[in-house]
Chain A
Amino acid sequence: MLELLANGLTTIVQLQYLLPLFFGTLVGVIGGALPGVTITMTVIVVLPFTFGLDPLQGLAAMTGVYVGGSAGGLVTACLLGIPGTPSAIATTFDGFPMARNGEPGRALWLGIWASCFGGLIGGLFLILVTGPLAAFALQFGPWEYFSLFVLALAMVAGLVEASFVKGLMSTAIGLLITVIGTDPITSVPRFTFGSPFLTGGFPFLPVLIGIFAFSQIMSDVEKLRAPRSAAAQDAPRALRAPQLKVLGEIVTRPFLLLWSTVIGILIGVLPAIGGSAANMLAYEQARKLSKHPERFGKGIPEGIIASESSNNANVGGSLVTIMAFGIPGDAVTAVMLGAMTIHGIQSGPLFVLQNPELAYGIYAAYILAHPLMVAILAVSTLFILRISMVRLAVLAPVVLALCVIGAYALNNTMDAVYVLLLFGAIGYALVKFGFPLAPLILGLILGDQLEINLVRAIMTDDNLLMFVLRPISGALLGLAALSVGFAIWQHARHHRRAAPAEADF
């Protein structure tokens, strides 16, 4: 393992891989810092740039975006009080007050180093756990895969903040999109109505780009005429901080760092929930376990360390799920999964065993992205702060043009661009009707595999009880049932506490 990792690091430090990794990390940091631009959006924008690269170059760039984006959110969170990404919301609670108290450099560097340490511990988990998990997954037959996918879908639908029914419906809509086109087993066209455009089904990436990019940009467009915060004018001019003191503040809190990191990793491993949940949960845990919870929210280091270490550790956890099982840990890894497919790579348990150079290359890129992220933030935070002021009127058309390139370049036809437009409108409508998008995306990704494994299992043995009687499959379905039960209980409890929200149109 160490030899493979050393080989991976040797490969990644070569200029041809280091450059995509560096630019990916830089773009990730900038995208993460831009309020209103999520990491998913940034990775979507970077996606077309990877088409002309070899698989490891492309995946290194995307890994850089993911790591950089997870840390970039802290820049505006600490210095402007506006989280650059949802995964930096909790950083704002203490980072901004600390900056307001005259210590912007300390707030920023606490976040940067906590991100770096959290991410690197997450990387250790990624390297140590992915192989054994993939080996375990090799024992899976179609019954186990089907049950694993059901578990993933049940968990995602249950964990979303919106209504549980809407979470499940969103999953079903995602699954439904995958049944349009040719049946994967018998090659019979389904719901195509004789249209050659629909025969191949909807390509995954344009659907994903359309749904995410449009829902995000249109939500920003809606707020365009709203009064803007004056925080930008108050941005600090100097960000110096005594590095040893800041590092000391982190390493003298090893339990906080480790516990927040573990939370981040575990949330990352769970399918389709990402850093936004991890940083809030880690922050809450830090406050609960603190001897002085009343100081949280007033600018104490614990709040920043908990939030930032967890959201970067989350990246490692998400990569474990995609590499061991082929299930995306969140929307960013869903795009990465699409990119892997474009490069002809089949993710899942065989990926690590059959492509060790590529797998360890990704690990190495992940590790190396952290010092790169620290260096980029050290040099260019004030510059990034200026970029974050770019007008939506300029940003939106450029992002949309890049989305068009990403869709068009898949097979050099306009069909994918039409799909992009169609699903852009559908995605925006779904958001306006209060449907969570994460379950839809997971349904979209797993739909084909769910069907293939279900039909394969039935073709092997038409006894449906096999899904329950096979130990691993039965255990996974049991966990899925528990997850659904827990979600129903949780939503019922939440519903009793809060009256329903009114529609916003």
Chain B
Amino acid sequence: MTLGRDAIAGLVCLAISLVGLYFSFGLPQLPLVPVGPGFYPRIVLAFLAILSVILVAQDLLARRAPVRAAERRPARRVSGNGYRLVGLVFAVFGLYVAALPALGYRIATALFVAAMQAALDRPRDARGWAVLAAIAVAASAATYLVFDTYLTVLLPRGRWTNW
């Protein structure tokens, strides 16, 4: 029997709640308070574990029920390309977060905005690349100016660039 989306989600949540329950019993019981630090987490984790089991059971029962394919509501399908793009965006954002402390806000943000634009809508000619670069520099400079200069919200300085 294949597992559905809900069963997979239920099993993941069940595993998390069981691991959490295991660690919650290792928390110290303090003598001066009637309920220790593990009391409330155990309630939440047990609640999540029970719900996870129900979700898995619901999914398995729903899959056993003879629902004709034609009766199933078609969900919005996302193409493999769509997921690749999402993965790419996450990767670029991850690199941005990693680069921030080293390069500083201004450089890292300009690179990030440029990379994201190139990933989502790659320019086809030199003019397109120039517009992309201009938007990247302008976005970085404008946000820096507004936040760091006018709103006195300190933004990260680069460890390598000191800028």
Query: Which residues of chain A have a CB within 8 Å of any CB of chain B?
Result: 48-49, 51-53, 163, 165-166, 168-169, 172-173, 175-176, 179, 183, 185-186, 188, 190-191, 217-218, 221-225, 391-394, 396-398, 400-402, 404-405, 408-409, 412, 414, 417-418, 420-421, 424-425, 428, 433-435, 450-451, 454-455, 458-459, 462, 498-505
Indicate which residue in A188, A434, A458, A505 contacts B78 across the interface (CB closer than 8 Å).
A505
Are the C-beta atoms of A404 and B51 separated by less than 8 Å?
no
Q: Check B126 for interface membership: any CB of A closer than 8 A.
A: no
**Count of A-B contacts judged by CB separation below 8 Å:** 204
* Closest chain A residue, CB of each to CB of B92: A397
* Closest chain B residue, CB of each to CB of A178: B44
Indicate which residue in B6, B90, B143, B150 contacts A405 across the interface (CB closer than 8 Å).
B143
Are the C-beta atoms of B86 and A173 separated by less than 8 Å?
no
Q: B63-91: which have CB < 8 Å to A? A: 67, 71-79, 81-83, 85-86, 89-90
Cα of A396 to Cα of B118 in the assembled complex, Å: 12
Are the C-beta atoms of A396 and B73 separated by less than 8 Å?
no
Q: Which 4 pairs from chain A and chain B are nearest by CB?
A: A52-B151, A393-B121, A397-B116, A503-B5
Are the C-beta atoms of A191 and B23 separated by less than 8 Å?
yes
On chain A, the residues within 8 Å of B62 by CB distance are 500
Are the C-beta atoms of A414 and B72 separated by less than 8 Å?
no
On chain B, the residues within 8 Å of A168 by CB distance are 47, 51
Are the C-beta atoms of A52 and B51 separated by less than 8 Å?
no
Are the C-beta atoms of B48 and A48 separated by less than 8 Å?
no
Are the C-beta atoms of B113 and A401 separated by less than 8 Å?
yes
Q: B139-163: which have CB < 8 Å to A? A: 139-140, 143, 146-147, 150-156
Q: B30-52: which have CB < 8 Å to A? A: 30, 33-41, 44-45, 47-48, 51-52
Indicate which residue in B8, B20, B81, B94 contacts A176 across the interface (CB closer than 8 Å).
B20
Shortest Cβ distance from A455 into chain B, in angstroms? 6
Are the C-beta atoms of B27 and A190 separated by less than 8 Å?
yes
On chain B, the residues within 8 Å of A418 by CB distance are 97
Provide 18 A-B residue pairs closer than 8 Å at the C-beta atoms, listed in order of the A residue: A49-B151, A52-B152, A165-B51, A218-B89, A222-B78, A223-B82, A391-B120, A398-B139, A400-B96, A405-B147, A405-B153, A405-B155, A409-B147, A424-B93, A433-B9, A434-B6, A450-B40, A505-B5
Are the C-beta atoms of A225 and B93 separated by less than 8 Å?
no
On chain B, the residues within 8 Å of A53 by CB distance are 151
Cα of A499 to Cα of B96 in the assembled complex, Å: 43
Given contacts A186-B36, A414-B156, whether A176 and B120 have CB atoms under 8 Å apart is: no
Q: Check B103 for interface membership: any CB of A closer than 8 A.
A: no
Are the C-beta atoms of B89 and A221 separated by less than 8 Å?
yes
Given contacts A190-B41, A433-B9, whether A173 and B48 have CB atoms under 8 Å apart is: yes
Are the C-beta atoms of A503 and B39 separated by less than 8 Å?
no
On chain A, the residues within 8 Å of B33 by CB distance are 185-186, 455, 459
Are the C-beta atoms of B13 and A169 separated by less than 8 Å?
yes
The secondary-structure label for the interface of chain A is helix
Q: Check B54 for interface membership: any CB of A closer than 8 A.
A: yes
- In this complex, which of A179, A217, A500 has the most chain B Cβ atoms within 10 angstroms of its Cβ? A500
On chain A, the residues within 8 Å of B82 by CB distance are 221-225
Given contacts A394-B135, A455-B35, whether A179 and B112 have CB atoms under 8 Å apart is: no
Shortest Cβ distance from A504 into chain B, in angstroms? 4
Of the four ranges (under 10, 10 to 19, 20 to 34, 35 or more), the interface on chain B belongs to 35 or more
Cα of A225 to Cα of B81 in the assembled complex, Å: 8
* Closest chain B residue, CB of each to CB of A503: B5
Query: Which residues of chain B have a CB within 8 Å of any CB of chain A?
Result: 4-6, 8-9, 13, 16-17, 20, 23-24, 27-28, 30, 33-41, 44-45, 47-48, 51-52, 54-55, 58, 62, 67, 71-79, 81-83, 85-86, 89-90, 93-94, 96-97, 100-101, 109, 112-113, 116-117, 120-121, 135, 139-140, 143, 146-147, 150-156
On chain A, the residues within 8 Å of B6 by CB distance are 163, 166, 433-434
Are the C-beta atoms of B116 and A400 separated by less than 8 Å?
yes
Are the C-beta atoms of B86 and A222 separated by less than 8 Å?
yes
Cα of A434 to Cα of B17 in the assembled complex, Å: 19
Indicate which residue in A49, A396, A405, A435 contacts B120 across the interface (CB closer than 8 Å).
A396
Are the C-beta atoms of A172 and B47 separated by less than 8 Å?
yes
* Closest chain A residue, CB of each to CB of B73: A501
On chain B, the residues within 8 Å of A222 by CB distance are 78, 82-83, 85-86
Are the C-beta atoms of B4 and A503 separated by less than 8 Å?
yes
Cα of A49 to Cα of B145 in the assembled complex, Å: 12
Shortest Cβ distance from A202 into chain B, in angstroms? 14
Indicate which residue in A190, A450, A459 contacts B37 across the interface (CB closer than 8 Å).
A190
Indicate which residue in B48, B72, B78, B100 contacts A502 across the interface (CB closer than 8 Å).
B72
* Closest chain B residue, CB of each to CB of A433: B9
Shortest Cβ distance from B29 into chain A, in angstroms? 10
Are the C-beta atoms of A500 and B73 separated by less than 8 Å?
yes
On chain B, the residues within 8 Å of A408 by CB distance are 155-156
Cα of A166 to Cα of B10 in the assembled complex, Å: 9
On chain A, the residues within 8 Å of B154 by CB distance are 409, 412
On chain B, the residues within 8 Å of A175 by CB distance are 44
Are the C-beta atoms of B77 and A504 separated by less than 8 Å?
yes
Shortest Cβ distance from B140 into chain A, in angstroms? 8
Other than the known A49-B151, A190-B38, A504-B75, what 15 A-B pairs have Cβ atoms closer than 8 Å? Answer: A49-B147, A176-B17, A186-B36, A190-B27, A191-B41, A393-B121, A396-B89, A401-B139, A405-B147, A424-B90, A425-B90, A455-B40, A458-B34, A498-B73, A504-B78
